Amino acid sequence: MGSAIRSDRQLLREQLTPDARGLIVAMVGLPARGKSFISRKLERFLRWSGSTTKTFNVGKYRRDAVVPERSGRSEFFDNQNPDSVAAREKLAMLALADAIKFLDDGGKFAIFDATNSTVARRRSIADQVRAHGHYSLIWVEAVCDDDEVVKFNMLTKVKYSPDFKDMSADQAMADLTARIQTYSEIYETIQDSEGAFIKLFNLSSKVMANHCYGRVAKSILPYLMAIHIGSRPIWLARAGPGSTKGQTGSDRDSTLSEEGQQFAEHLAAFVQKRSRRYWETSGNPQEQTKVFTSTMPRAVASAAHTSVLPDKRSALNPIDKGVLGAGWWDVECPDDLPPWREVEKRHPDFMAQPGA
């Protein structure tokens, strides 16, 4: 074996990839750069992946502490006013303490949504997280210098944020512009020396990653690179009714009944009509509808008129009922299997039925 002396670089690499119990994802960026949008999307993705995740939005703490009619005005963000500087700092620290408490209570990811505009603020956050011991920290900075995107984001903000509720659109835009200006005066972009970060430039058209390893590299970074801002309709349909039981005696491998055939035709007409209407109003060129089905013959046949090549995924198959056979659980479950019934009720997505 070689000597046990490790270089500084090796030590740093180990410090950056500890087996942390939880991760704080802290946003950085001027107002109207998409931080809250990204936070919400990331939270939904991480929860969907099975991790307990919560977002701590400092704007909400501010509005809860001081009415938006006062704390939402650009004067409240004046860097020369020591009272509001102190008030904003206090609120951010309150939110950070709650984020850490959330991880203490077993949460996996806490998303800390604030501008975190200065190196000093970020250093203070990093020190507190480090002092706590168990958690890692990653910065996610949204940088956007595309005036049109920023203007669009500002319009969205003034429309939906409670900060601008009682203002005209023009007044609100002027006040938000002034708020952004005050932040721009002190804003410092993340430096390489600040540890792990992901910088998203102009809607992820360029992405920079620094010291990203482990689960950040495997899930958060690819997700942030793939995030898209558009919306699109999603339709969920159950398979049409089957005719006879299939070879296994279960309706899993049955084919469509005559009524089911009609359903498949109606489904195709519905999707065609709705997607045409959607693309006409979106102003973008029409894209092909993507169709996913389970691998059940009935489901594939139900999509046959909608798409010639549906994407068949076994993950969409109904739960395999094993020895309990076809039909609905409540009808089929024998009374002498109460433990399964209880587990199924509590963890429907994580249990295998007996014999499945």
Pick one of ligand ADP, ligand FDP, none as the site partner of residue 200 (Cβ within 5 to 8 A by kind). ligand ADP
Tell me if 58 contacts ligand FDP by CB under 6 A. yes
Residue with smallest beta-carbon separation from ligand ADP: 34
The least distance separating ligand ADP from the CB of residue 206, rounded to whole angstroms, comes to: 10
The least distance separating ligand FDP from the CB of residue 38, rounded to whole angstroms, comes to: 11
Pick one of ligand ADP, ligand FDP, none as the site partner of residue 108 (Cβ within 5 to 8 A by kind). none
User: Which is nearest to 94 in space by CA: 73, 125, 72?
Assistant: 125
What is the sign of the dihedral through the CA atoms of 153, 201, 103 and 53? positive
Tell me if 189 contacts ligand ADP by CB under 6 A. no
Tell me if 125 contacts ligand FDP by CB under 6 A. no
- Reported in sequence order, the residue ranges of the chain that DSSP labels E, i.e. its strands, are 22-28, 53-57, 109-113, 135-143, 197-201, 206-210, 292-293, 311-312
CA distance 99 to 57: 10
Match 């087996």 to its residue by tokens.
Answer: 19
B/e letters for 253-274, b = 16+ CB within 10 Å, e = fewer, are bbebeeebbebbeebbeebeee
Tell me if 267 contacts ligand ADP by CB under 6 A. no
Pick one of ligand ADP, ligand FDP, none as the site partner of residue 117 (Cβ within 5 to 8 A by kind). ligand FDP
Tell me if 182 contacts ligand FDP by CB under 6 A. no
Select the residue interacting with ligand ADP from 177, 204, 250, 289 (CB under 6 A).
Answer: 204
Please provide the DSSP assignment of 7-35 as one string.
-HHHHHHHHHS---SEEEEEEE--TTSSH
Pick one of ligand FDP, ligand ADP, none as the site partner of residue 321 (Cβ within 5 to 8 A by kind). none
Query: Among 115-123, 206-214, 216-224, 316-324, which window interacts with ligand FDP (CB under 6 A)?
Result: 115-123
Residues making up the chain, counted from first to last: 356
User: Which is nearest to 31 in space by CA: 88, 80, 70?
Assistant: 88
Q: What does the binding site for ligand FDP look like in residue numbers (CB under 6 A)?
A: 31, 36, 57-59, 62, 88, 92, 113-117
